[in-house]
Structure 1
């Protein structure tokens, strides 16, 4: 598997866990270019509002590269006045550096990257990500930027261009300043005019004999728009070539059936308790029955990966519901000793499951790029399991006194056994035990993932210093993304509802956000408790943590900035401003997943199994058509791309020349 279990158990309970992965370099090619200082000048498009209304403009921005004499990734951000560069602007530059290196297949520590803006006004927002990535690529390949060209659009983890706001105002400002070749994100030909509140057709309104508009799909097209140098199209594998080997399909199907059986067992164990009917619990059991039938249909249809994925979520939901129902029945019966026995039994089972997973992780090889993908994929799931266990232990510590006094008082009769006290007891115990349901499933996923190696996979060993550099870059990018999200989206939610940002942060239940808030260093510390101090998987563990945080924050930016998700104070989606753009993003993300798979196959001889599983889950979710399904499909396509790109680190770790294997020729005099 390549993702965690974002299972929503009940309306009031968001169950979060996660997985992810990114980065890599292309194979092939032997071109070498001498590196001296390089400069590329671009104009960043923006929109703003003053007393006269909404308007657009441009900010001159310079990208400079010079040789880096260290092994550290170095990115400098310079501004025309103190504290004018916001969190999102900084994040966009870090992400552009990462994406340019990924697209060209080179070591991101090859250069010192400096980006300087001349603006004396505050500049912020991720909408220049696509332009900045293309500009850094131009500098890396020594290709000058065309002064008449610019564009707007975010940069997604797979290199596609994401939607933004204020496009009509940006284009008006750019055209007034003399730009004649302008790009806008795929799927946004029809965009909101902030000045009039109307939806306008960009081509009809702005295109002319003098001005050419272009709908930009990905960063390679952005590079071509900016430089005038056509980037050769990326080869892709076919959809059929993303199919899973029979041995993997059989293993996934077998595990899906096992989880189906576990879901049935959870219901049977609950029913065996007897006692009065619980209408609230029974209604939710019916919902899990519908989910079970859906998984059974996928198994019968031979859809192994989506059956596996949905069976995992079903198992979490059924297990959690069984825990909650059992606690309610035992409390209602006054069986407080039974509650303690039930808790001890669940904890013991999880410890045994985690022990088996640790043994599998310690035995895993990580010498080749393909091994690395397998290991990172397993560590992602194991990390989710351990984090769930840590959540349970933290809950136990925070509530130990209250729980002890409540159970003790009810057991001795010092406290009257009222429905309110029983409800409080159930709430406390469920907070302790419900994470176990998530941990059990993720621990199982981790063990199974480690067995999914592509036959014939190979490649050179992965240099440790290369992994360290990528971990550092992803960590900085993830932190910048999170800061931007909290200081914009969450701050706006807080203002709208008249509450503090801190309250929104505590209440916001988006799965990606809850995961992104977890400190990767805490993730590493938790895992280190369960792995030997000299374990060779510790470095891969750090990579897995950085990848998780990066993908989680990328999903946040896509949902709440690019697509314009609107929410209430708890994060429940109440509307989507740019729904049509999501379909365009999905279409391109599916193609990019197959393009990055082709890159990985060129290096190792096979597409990573983890990449194929994520792709298959994405395809199934894409076909469902609901909003949640589409967002899940987008995330899975991104993960498929990024896992494939990770394979290429083995090649990129020793490549220090720009342009090798990138399919982009350096500029000629």
Structure 2
């Protein structure tokens, strides 16, 4: 808007900043110039107001697909389709934005949203895309939930990035796995009926599902023949690459390595792994010997020991063949199982010999792992990765440490529940007994604090309770008690009678044999707790059983935290110090960490909704209560849930910590979803998988997973990175593939992790180059925002160590 002429002073001039010029401000001259300027106002309006929206519209890519579904209403089973619009547009705000839009409130469930996040992660890895540069949306019509459209969503999102379109006459069903393979789903015959009504001519299904269960007929049918009767062609596909070609008519551009060399672990790393394996061998022998000294074990503990011995045997075979990565992996399982058995025997013996105070001392000793973890986290915080190989080692060590903290959190939860139940049980017991007569006191038993058994030479000490009179006197496990106050001790019954006849606070003299020598030891007996009242009713027995279960689980989680801490230390020892591509800026790591954490947490909710919730309802339990039962059934779920808890608690703010823990959680939940939902694993005695519904699909997924992992490792190496742990998991998977179904499923999980870690390192190192560029352009940062550092960093480390 022009100023009034009265404000202008004729003939006055003013000076503009340097580089400008003097101009007259005479009204007649100004009016002439303003008329000339006004002819440019339409152009200026277009530049300022229309062009940004037009440019954004041109850069936005949209792909429409029809997701297939089936549903049941009473006895009626039907299939149908729901249109999904997948949209990608530039995101100048530089943050991860994945949105889900619905036409009705609650139209998309948690499984659907988790599948969208997984599709986003996989498309990012396939194409080498930094998702912080884009806004992604999934717009669905009607109501839909479940993971079976995961493959279709991934293909549609990838097409949007590439500027391709999905053919309107084609659709697919199948979950998406972390390495791009397509997993089995249910309801295919009914989905074909819905697709035919929508006018589809080609439907893609997961490999190995030609014969699928008809939910209406309750029997297997040939879906290829069923499709022909409906005028629909049905094809099996193994992975996203095959599906993309058929859905769009165009090949999926991929980053392929120049060679197909089998992954090898450097000799220096092999030597370190061999040394750490020997440490685990020694640890296992120590643990299992203590377990066997406890004598006859209950059947449940016997099964755990059998699993430990099986893993130990496999580790010995692998070590004999020079496969130390495999031996190391199996020894972790062997040590974990042996520790689980020993925890049970420790608790029983400590409670019998030392009572409540001894148990408290035992738990206090287990909690010492907290201090070790605090110190190790401080050490990790001081590490500065110089190369991308260092980034992998540091993230792995952080991830295991976060898992260890999560295990402690689980132990604390169980311990708190145990104490609450114990208090309630004691109050009920007092009410059942009634008040004791006035002037009477309960007799308190004398206690020495040992667990013993008969031996040919006398009474052998199997265990000494921490903080007990026996420990203070110097008694050790393995000692043979020969005399008690000068009286020969022939068997455990004699020793028990002598201890019972001694008053608390009295000193006793013991003659013991140790290593061929005889020693005199002096101890003062303590007053133990009064014997618990015998259960009065079946309900009381159940209460004590529940208390014992929680007590065991709390102790086990503390022990598992200690073992995870050991593995975290090994990761640093094995993986740090390799030369190669420089580490990127920490902001780059933070972006990857945020993406994986969001996706991993969605995956955990996804697992709960499609696997645990259904099983909990069948068992008549709440999800929270059933979760603990599921942890007992599958330790890998316990590890995943521990990681989930620790991430939510914010144990560490380091991006490396969040990246390592989030990747472990993401691939842990993905493998559990595949195991229980997609493949339909059935658990037999001993807690191992005895059957899967789609074994053909499992074998196919394994074959594809080996190829994908090998490609990822070679891409990383061509980018100047040594993916130590990806090669480690690849080597272990080769051995596990030849084992039982449990081993094959473990191999699949290892391969997925190996692929993801290797491809992420290759991307950060600039090693992912597609055959054709992305048409959706990455926007420049807004003013005041830092630009993203280039993958691979910009400054070489000053000193590097080659191994």
- Superposition TM-score tier, normalisation by shorter sequence: 0.7 to 0.9
Residue 93 of structure 1 aligns to a residue whose secondary structure is helix
Give the direction of change, closer, same or farther, for the CA distance of 1:415–1:427 in structure 2 (3 Å limit).
farther
Residue 573 of structure 2 aligns to a residue whose secondary structure is coil
Give the direction of change, closer, same or farther, for the CA distance of 1:245–1:62 in structure 2 (3 Å limit).
same
Q: 2:707 & 2:773 partners in 1: Cα distance?
A: 23
- Verify the 8 A CA contact 1:87 1:481 in the aligned structure 2: no
Q: 2:743 & 2:688 partners in 1: Cα distance?
A: 15
5 Å-filtered alignment, 1:288-299, equals 288-299=308-319
Residue 196 of structure 1 aligns to a residue whose secondary structure is coil
Which residue, 412, 432, 436 being the options, matches 2:527? 412
Q: 2:259 & 2:217 partners in 1: Cα distance?
A: 45
1:12-37 deviation line (CA, Å, top 9, x unaligned):
xxxxxxxxxxxxxxxxxxxxx99711
**Residue 621 (structure 1) aligns with:** 736
- Verify the 8 A CA contact 1:100 1:133 in the aligned structure 2: yes
**Residue 137 (structure 2) aligns with:** 114
Q: CA deviation at 1:638?
A: 0.9
- 1:94 paired with 2:94, answer no
Residue 100 of structure 2 aligns to a residue whose secondary structure is strand
For these two proteins, the number of residue pairs brought into alignment is 613
- Verify the 8 A CA contact 2:182 2:239 in the aligned structure 1: yes
Q: 1:396 & 1:622 partners in 2: Cα distance?
A: 38
5 Å-filtered alignment, 1:80-229, equals 80-117=103-140, 119-120=141-142, 122-206=143-227, 212-229=233-250
- 1:443 paired with 2:565, answer yes
1:383-413 deviation line (CA, Å, top 9, x unaligned):
222333344445455556888999x976635
Give the direction of change, closer, same or farther, for the CA distance of 1:219–1:617 in structure 2 (3 Å limit).
same
1:563-595 deviation line (CA, Å, top 9, x unaligned):
234679x99978643333222222222221112
- 1:49 paired with 2:84, answer no
Q: 1:380 & 1:414 partners in 2: Cα distance?
A: 42
**Residue 486 (structure 1) aligns with:** 608
Give the direction of change, closer, same or farther, for the CA distance of 1:547–1:196 in structure 2 (3 Å limit).
same
- 1:640 paired with 2:754, answer yes
Which residue, 376, 387, 394 being the options, matches 1:375? 394
Higher mean C-alpha deviation, range 629-638 or range 170-179: 170-179
Q: 2:732 & 2:108 partners in 1: Cα distance?
A: 39
Give the direction of change, closer, same or farther, for the CA distance of 1:203–1:238 in structure 2 (3 Å limit).
farther
- Verify the 8 A CA contact 2:356 2:529 in the aligned structure 1: no
Residue 88 of structure 2 aligns to a residue whose secondary structure is strand
Gaps of 5+ in 2: 1-55, 427-442, 446-525, 536-540, 777-803
Which residue, 473, 478, 499 being the options, matches 2:595? 473
Q: 1:327 & 1:506 partners in 2: Cα distance?
A: 20
Q: CA deviation at 1:635?
A: 1.0
Which residue, 385, 388, 391 being the options, matches 1:366? 385
Give the direction of change, closer, same or farther, for the CA distance of 1:419–1:247 in structure 2 (3 Å limit).
farther
Residue 241 of structure 1 aligns to a residue whose secondary structure is coil
5 Å-filtered alignment, 1:443-522, equals 443-453=565-575, 457-509=579-631, 510-518=634-642, 520=644, 522=646
Give the direction of change, closer, same or farther, for the CA distance of 1:286–1:94 in structure 2 (3 Å limit).
closer
Q: CA deviation at 1:444?
A: 1.7
Residue 458 of structure 1 aligns to a residue whose secondary structure is coil
Residue 600 of structure 2 aligns to a residue whose secondary structure is helix
- Verify the 8 A CA contact 2:272 2:574 in the aligned structure 1: no
* TM-score normalised by structure 2 residue count: 0.68
1:522-576 deviation line (CA, Å, top 9, x unaligned):
4475644xxxxxxxx81111222322332232223222321234679x9997864
Q: 2:341 & 2:81 partners in 1: Cα distance?
A: 54
Residue 604 of structure 1 aligns to a residue whose secondary structure is coil
- Verify the 8 A CA contact 1:399 1:428 in the aligned structure 2: yes
- 1:312 paired with 2:312, answer no
1:593-639 deviation line (CA, Å, top 9, x unaligned):
11222222232243x1111111122222211032x222211111111
Q: 1:259 & 1:519 partners in 2: Cα distance?
A: 24
Larger-gyration structure (1/2) = 2
Q: CA deviation at 1:170?
A: 1.7
- Verify the 8 A CA contact 1:237 1:597 in the aligned structure 2: no
- Verify the 8 A CA contact 1:593 1:638 in the aligned structure 2: yes
1:292-340 deviation line (CA, Å, top 9, x unaligned):
3332221111121121011112122223333432443344345777666
**Residue 662 (structure 1) aligns with:** 770
Q: CA deviation at 1:134?
A: 0.9
- 1:79 paired with 2:92, answer no
**Residue 320 (structure 2) aligns with:** 300
* TM-score normalised by structure 1 residue count: 0.81
**Residue 6 (structure 1) aligns with:** none
Residue 452 of structure 1 aligns to a residue whose secondary structure is helix
- 1:630 paired with 2:733, answer no
Q: 2:754 & 2:418 partners in 1: Cα distance?
A: 40
Q: 1:635 & 1:340 partners in 2: Cα distance?
A: 39
Q: CA deviation at 1:194?
A: 2.1
Q: CA deviation at 1:127?
A: 0.9
Q: CA deviation at 1:44?
A: 1.3
Residue 508 of structure 1 aligns to a residue whose secondary structure is helix
**Residue 260 (structure 1) aligns with:** 281
Q: 1:494 & 1:322 partners in 2: Cα distance?
A: 30
**Residue 580 (structure 1) aligns with:** 696
Q: CA deviation at 1:109?
A: 1.8
